[in-house]
Structure 1
Amino acid sequence: MVTKLILLLGVLAPALCFIDMVEKIVKLWPEADPTYDDVARISYSDLVNGDVDSLIKQSMQEYGIFYVVDVPNYDSHEELKYLQQFFNLPEELKAGTEIRRHNPANKNAYRGYCPGLDDVDATLQYKNLFNIGPHETRVPIERDSLSPMDKLRYDIHEPNVWPQTGDCAFDKEFKELFQKGFEIRQNIARAFVRSIARSMEIPQLNDLFQEDEFSAMGLRRYPYREQINTNMYSDFDGTLLRELEHVDSTITVLTTFHNTGLQALYNNKYRDVPVTGDDKFIVNIGKLVDDLIDNKLVDIKHRVAETTFDRHSITYFLGPQFDADISRSVTNKLTEAGNKYQIFGEWIKDYLGAIELFYY
Structure 2
Amino acid sequence: MKLTLVLILGLAVPASAYLPSLLEKLWPSYEGNVFDEVPTIPYKDLVTDNLYVDPSVLMAMKQFGFFYVGEVPGYNASVELDYLQQFFNLPEELKAGTEIRRHNPANKNAYRGYCPGLDDVDATLQYKNLFNIGPHETRAPISEDNILTGMDKLRYDIHEPNVWPQTGDCAFDKEFKEIFQKGFEFRQTIARKFVQSISRSLDLPKLNDLFQEDEFSAMGLRRYPKRDRINTNMYSDFDGTLLRELEHIDSTVTVLTTFDNGGLQGLYKNQYRNMPATGANSFVVMIGKLVDDLVDNQLFSVKHRVIETPFDRHSITYFLGPQFDADISRSVTEERRLTEAGRKYTIFGEWIKDYLGAIELFYY
What's the TM-score, normalizing by structure 2? 0.89
Residue 40 of structure 1: aligned partner: 39
Residue 113 of structure 2: aligned partner: 112
Distance across 2 between alignment mates of 1:101 and 1:278: 34
Distance across 2 between alignment mates of 1:65 and 1:248: 12
Residue 352 of structure 2: aligned partner: 348
Aligned pairs (5 A) from 1:49-198 = 49-51=48-50, 52-141=53-142, 142=144, 145-198=147-200
- Counterpart of 2:354, as a letter, is D
- Counterpart of 2:37, as a letter, is D
Distance across 1 between alignment mates of 2:27 and 2:250: 29
Distance across 2 between alignment mates of 1:356 and 1:45: 37
Distance across 1 between alignment mates of 2:26 and 2:342: 41
Checking the alignment, whether the CA contact within 8 Å between 2:33 and 2:274 is kept in structure 1 is no
Distance across 2 between alignment mates of 1:311 and 1:205: 35
Residue 335 of structure 1: aligned partner: 339
- Counterpart of 1:161, as a letter, is V
- How far the C-alpha of 1:44 sits from its partner, in A, is 0.3
SS of residue in 2 equivalent to 1:82: helix
Residue 272 of structure 1: aligned partner: 274
CA deviation profile, 1:187-232 (whole Å, cap 9, x unmatched) = 0000000000111111111110000100000000001112113211
- How far the C-alpha of 1:75 sits from its partner, in A, is 1.2
Query: Relative to structure 1, is the Cα distance of residues 226 and 143 closer, same or farther in structure 2, using a 3 angstrom cutoff?
Result: farther
- Counterpart of 2:323, as a letter, is Q
SS of residue in 2 equivalent to 1:296: coil
SS of residue in 2 equivalent to 1:217: strand
Distance across 1 between alignment mates of 2:27 and 2:78: 36
Deviates more, 1:112-121 or 1:139-148: 139-148
SS of residue in 1 equivalent to 2:136: coil
- How far the C-alpha of 1:33 sits from its partner, in A, is 3.7
Query: Relative to structure 1, is the Cα distance of residues 144 and 244 closer, same or farther in structure 2, using a 3 angstrom cutoff?
Result: farther
Runs of 5+ in structure 2 lacking a partner? 1-23
Checking the alignment, whether the CA contact within 8 Å between 2:264 and 2:275 is kept in structure 1 is yes
* Structure having the higher Rg: 1
Checking the alignment, whether the CA contact within 8 Å between 1:113 and 1:129 is kept in structure 2 is yes
- Counterpart of 1:134, as a letter, is P
Distance across 2 between alignment mates of 1:352 and 1:320: 15
CA deviation profile, 1:59-89 (whole Å, cap 9, x unmatched) = 1111001000000110111100000000000
Distance across 2 between alignment mates of 1:289 and 1:154: 24
Distance across 2 between alignment mates of 1:282 and 1:321: 22
- Counterpart of 1:157, as a letter, is H
- Counterpart of 1:73, as a letter, is G
Distance across 2 between alignment mates of 1:122 and 1:154: 32
SS of residue in 1 equivalent to 2:82: helix
Distance across 2 between alignment mates of 1:143 and 1:199: 49
Distance across 2 between alignment mates of 1:114 and 1:229: 23
- Counterpart of 2:41, as a letter, is I
- Equivalent in 245, 248, 266 of residue 246 of structure 1: 248
CA deviation profile, 1:216-258 (whole Å, cap 9, x unmatched) = 0000000111211321100100001011000000000000000
1:204 matched to 2:206: yes
Distance across 2 between alignment mates of 1:96 and 1:315: 23
- Counterpart of 2:344, as a letter, is K
Q: Which has the higher helix share?
A: 1
SS of residue in 1 equivalent to 2:210: helix
Residue 12 of structure 1: aligned partner: none
- How far the C-alpha of 1:144 sits from its partner, in A, is 6.1
